[in-house]
Amino acid sequence: MTQSPVISVFLFLALWIAAFALYGRYWRSTAAGREWREFNGRVDPAVRRFAVSLRWLLLIVLGVAIMLAAERFRRAFHTGEAPGDASGLAVALLVVSSYMIAVLLTALLINFVWWLSPWMRRASDAAKVGLSAVSFRNSMGILTMQAVVVIPICLAQIYLGAIMK
């Protein structure tokens, strides 16, 4: 008995949703998470809007670029195949994994822009008074730990999606 690709896609997505739910619960229950949420509430709204606009732009550009690279990688394994011949699970693995990597890279880039841009740095210095967990070092540490765990998993999923018929 073979498993339906639709069921596999839903199981795959359910696994990622469960992982994010657990991460969100952890982040909401820690003191550092509370301090970062308070920091975000204190930051000048113009700085927040600029960061959000830049984040969406980078996410879309990086996501599409990584997804196209993943599709080219898949085509290296299936040279004679038409673009629509890939299974639903293979496509889901390529797309979701590409955007997961893009989310982390976008977060790292936005963090660099935020902490290295003078006007954004002044706004964050004013907002972080009294918050010990809010620093460039802590934010880069958290993002790096996430990247070290998630990116290899996503690359493995892209490889699985590429070799899958």
For residue 2, is pLDDT > 70? no
Residue that has been written with the tokens 């809007």 in this structure: 49
Per-residue model confidence (pLDDT) at position 138: 83
For residue 112, is pLDDT > 60? yes
Per-residue model confidence (pLDDT) at position 121: 86
For residue 116, is pLDDT > 60? yes
For residue 1, is pLDDT > 70? no
Per-residue model confidence (pLDDT) at position 6: 66
Please tell me the total count of domains within the chain: 1
- Sorted by sequence, the CB contacts under 8 Å of residue 19 that are 6+ apart come out as none
Neighbours of 140 (CB within 10 A): 14
How large a percentage of the chain has pLDDT more than 90? 12
Dihedral sign, Cα of residue 64, residue 66, residue 70, residue 76: positive
Residue that has been written with the tokens 């113009």 in this structure: 46
DSSP letter (8 states) at residue 164 = -
For residue 3, is pLDDT > 70? no
For residue 136, is pLDDT > 80? yes
Residue that has been written with the tokens 């896609």 in this structure: 9
For residue 11, is pLDDT > 80? no
Span 112-132, average pLDDT: 87
CA distance linking residue 23 with residue 100, whole number of Å: 14
Boundaries of domain holding 73: 5-163
* Whole-structure pTM value: 0.77
Contact 85, 139 (CB under 8 A): no
State which amino acid sits at residue 41.
G
Least confident of 16-30, 49-63, 102-116, 118-132: 16-30
pLDDT bucket at 102, cuts 50 / 70 / 90: very high
Span 123-143, average pLDDT: 85
State CA 5 to chain mean position distance.
Answer: 24
Within the chain, strands assigned E span none
DSSP letter (8 states) at residue 42 = H
Q: What is the mean pLDDT of the chain?
A: 84
Per-residue model confidence (pLDDT) at position 65: 93
